[in-house]
Chain A
Amino acid sequence: MTHLLNIENLHVAIQGEEILKGLNLKIKAGEVHAIMGPNGAGKSTLASTLAGRESFEVLEGTVRYQDEDLLALDAHERAAKGIFLGFQYPTEIPGVSNLNFLRTALNAQRRQRGEAEMDGGTFMKLAREKAQNLGISIEMLKRFVNVGFSGGEKKRNEMMQMAVLNPTLAILDETDSGLDIDALKVVSDGINALRSADKAILLITHYQRLLDYVTPDHVHVLADGKIVRSGGPELAHELEEKGYQAVA
């Protein structure tokens, strides 16, 4: 079976400094992978690079997604092909309501895929349903994107976007950080709801606690720009017990 995502020997620099130094990773549809690692290992660099942020310069290596050269695509094209980045620090956008943002994004993706745009009524129905599952009020959907949201609300809002956009590969960059236990539960439910045979999830996390709620198929340790160890869910526990230093 071919891989949904296949990263080979990826080297990435930001502002001239090499952060990823030959990273390899293969993800099949249906799988949940967790990448763990200490601060500065390159976790967020990997996430941003996969999502297509221009300031991250790929020096070497290949990334194939659905058997296509992912690096040749712009960020919005990647989104339309089903890649979703859950931001570690979701950006505030004053003047744009959540609902307008979501609908514009969804229809921008649909247009790129040659699908008809979703009309207002159908969209509202979808948004309401997803919001309800995540405990997000209509009031919150009418507010400006992430403006004045608490840390937990921002992360929940990322899950809301993920639920509406329904991606094939979700890359969640420390979506669990800064969450209290209730918010963590909501976010985990959102992630678990996306799990299916034709989708994959890449969890990037610093702590093991999210993995108590979302059980990964594979766990990788990222250190100094490379995957230094891979294993099953038990690796996460080992990391928690012994620390990165000992495991990596």
Chain B
Amino acid sequence: MKYWRRPLDLDKVCLPRAEVRIIEERCKGCNYCVTYCPRNVLVTGEKFNSKGYYPPHVKNQDECASCGLCQMICPEFAIYHIVQRPEVAEQSV
């Protein structure tokens, strides 16, 4: 990320990171998560599941800031995120 000036507390604050996981067999392809992810982590997948729906695919895992909107908005309980521990988060910034 680029800053126009270096924030004074940059060494203390780190962006939360999370890993996005998808339970593909539950997905019904409504695309809410893909559309409303504020950092465009997800794209519509190209492979279909056993019901013929296209579950999302995690494209930019590093961009995820652990906001949890995909998990909240998914009507199928098919996507969730695992918040990474701070030391892991620091390494990936």
Partners in one complex: no
A contact residues vs B (CB 8 Å cutoff):
none
B contact residues vs A (CB 8 Å cutoff):
none
